Structure 1
């Protein structure tokens, strides 16, 4: 009975091997193909010719002038009024009231807390509000802009731009766990962005080789073992 059960399990193992072997080889082969080249090269970023940034000019406008040294301007609605979000050539973000042209001060802790309470489910249960400068943002944000980190009771971190007055990112506990899993998946725990590096390519190639060898071995027929001799009477 035990031998029969083991043989049955062996047959199931072979059939399951055929069932999952094809997608495993497909996943490994496509994965190796995708990590073989840097993602920026795949997107064609290396073909772009870099040009010098030119300050935004709007003659006759109080929102953007040559002296303001602006790189980008966008108009959004905040608190029932039109607000121009201005980014200068150094990446510093400020806001201006479109109707009056008056500068809007950066968000303080109370305003950041109120914004999260109004726009995030459970945002009224903030436990801590911390300001991070653009050059020292938390690892789960990873963007060079000054932000308020609003920590909620459930472990969620909500990031509010000090200059933009907008919610820039929401990082739940699941997001942070996913981010860690992603870093392990691409074998880049430092930045979690490099999807094409020698270690990852080498392991992907080895895994694909092992899977292909396993598929080839599926064709090998196992010889029946000779029956054990009967014990003497």
Structure 2
């Protein structure tokens, strides 16, 4: 009789815990499931803008063209160099020099002279060449600080295409490379990503106290539900002797 009374008391306690956890965490659980579903449905190539902006340059180097020797290029740089890459930039062959600290400089491949940071006109030309959609002429503006939409290399240029997806192409001023593409699909994905990780402001911190707390509460909810399932599982009644 005592064992049965303790079992009933434990059953009631677990049921109350499960009920309160369901009330507190239930809404966030729905948001987790809904946001996870939407993010899994959205095609990742459309989120990244690969369907409308070709980040990879199709221009190839002229194998018969004379270039400055590598040692001459290195002499133009005062800091330690990690890597030198030859590539095309807006129809011009350049040597992209990456320093040990991660900073980048571009030099003329033929003369090894340093090229000034990419200006607005060149950034616009790079973006227009990579754009594969239909749009009116884009506008250009400088980006000097990070935002929810862009947290990449600074300073950068933002090229806004007035198309139906509000496409924005971000180009680093130091290298002229396309470093980010943003569109309506990305913004929808990013909104639900912020809900999913419970970082409603910056949409990037995966270790927020809210997320940790609700994840722990969700685990407790599952454990309490499993305990209730055990208590309420139908058992065969023993025959009385």
Tell me which interval the TM-score lies in, with the shorter structure as reference length.
0.5 to 0.7
- Which SS does the other structure have where 1:168 is aligned? strand
The reply on whether 1:201 has 2:212 as its aligned counterpart is yes
Residue 89 to residue 77, structure 1, CA distance change in 2 (3 Å):
closer
- Which SS does the other structure have where 1:69 is aligned? coil
Residue 143 to residue 194, structure 1, CA distance change in 2 (3 Å):
same
- Give ranges in structure 1 of 5+ residues lacking alignment: 1-23, 29-58, 223-233
Residue 140 to residue 76, structure 1, CA distance change in 2 (3 Å):
farther
Residue 205 to residue 216, structure 1, CA distance change in 2 (3 Å):
same
CA distance in 2, matches of 1:70, 1:123: 43
1:172 corresponds, among 164, 172, 183, to 183
- Which SS does the other structure have where 2:152 is aligned? coil
Give RMSD over aligned pairs: 3.1
Residue 60 to residue 201, structure 1, CA distance change in 2 (3 Å):
closer
The reply on whether 1:62 has 2:80 as its aligned counterpart is no
- Structure 1 range deviating more: 78-87 or 59-68: 59-68
1:212 corresponds, among 201, 204, 223, to 223
CA distance in 1, matches of 2:136, 2:174: 23
What is the Cα deviation at residue 164 of structure 1?
Answer: 0.5
CA distance in 2, matches of 1:155, 1:76: 32
Spell out the pairing of 1:124-143 with structure 2 (5 A cutoff). Answer: 125-133=136-144, 136-143=145-152
- Structure 1 range deviating more: 108-117 or 67-76: 67-76
- Which SS does the other structure have where 1:114 is aligned? helix
- Structure 1 range deviating more: 59-68 or 180-189: 59-68
CA contact (8 A) 1:68 1:88 kept: no
Count matched residues: 165
- Give ranges in structure 2 of 5+ residues lacking alignment: 1-28, 34-68, 235-241
What corresponds to 1:73 in structure 2?
A: 83
What is the Cα deviation at residue 108 of structure 1?
Answer: 2.0
2:114 corresponds, among 103, 106, 112, to 103
CA distance in 2, matches of 1:208, 1:101: 60
CA distance in 1, matches of 2:206, 2:141: 32
- Which SS does the other structure have where 1:68 is aligned? coil
In the superposition, the TM-score normalised over structure 2's length comes to 0.57
In the superposition, the TM-score normalised over structure 1's length comes to 0.59
